[in-house]
Amino acid sequence: MEEGQARHSALSLLNLLEKAPVREGLAEVFVHLQDGRVIAFSPGVRVPKNYDRFKGLMAQVLRVGRAPPEGEPLIWTAAKDLRGFLGNRGLILLSEDAEVEERPADIVREAYETGSAIGFGAFPRGPFSKDVLSLATKRVRIRGGEPLKAWDVACALSCALYDLAERLKG
């Protein structure tokens, strides 16, 4: 993980993993790394708020493949590549240059109903790789295609998760 990507990922993970719908298992959180691996996060994990501790934790996961090194893993390598991780599931990719715009609530609901993953970039700038784009079953933009920081996208999705959780509780 490059420095900029690690910061973006740390803030996005803090935003998502601290939310009740994720802690209660309504949604799962994964990170797709530059080297292709997919890292999974247990709903009970507490990502360090201190950035240096976050970097140390992620370095351990990259080196050992999991954290903690023994016992029940809270963070682990879920797949060697994105294609293997997705299997038959769809990938709804959030991209500011997508032609179709949707509300975060509609994206989250569709992902929940279809079992699709939602992907968004936590890299400083630029397009998704051709490999990632080829796996997307749907590309959409939010907020008029405005360039958003990853943590802003995470915030929009986590708010939509709260709305979905309320609707499911009825």
pLDDT tens for the chain, 170 residues: list them.
344 578 889 999 999 999 999 999 999 999 999 899 999 999 999 999 999 999 999 999 999 999 999 999 999 999 999 999 999 999 999 999 999 999 999 999 999 999 999 999 988 777 899 999 999 999 999 999 888 999 999 999 999 999 999 999 97
Chain center to CA of 45: 14
- The whole-number pLDDT of residue 3 equals 44
- The Cα–Cα gap between 86 and 116 comes to 8
Q: Give the model's pLDDT for residue 57.
A: 95
Per-residue pLDDT at 1 = 39
Note the pLDDT of residue 2.
42
How far is residue 59's CA from residue 64's CA, in Å, rounded to a whole number?
A: 8
CATH class for domain 3-169? alpha beta
Task: Report the length, in residues, of the chain.
Answer: 170
- The confidence score (pLDDT) of residue 170 equals 78
CA distance 65 to 63: 6
Taking the domains of the chain in order of start, what are their residue ranges?
Answer: 3-169
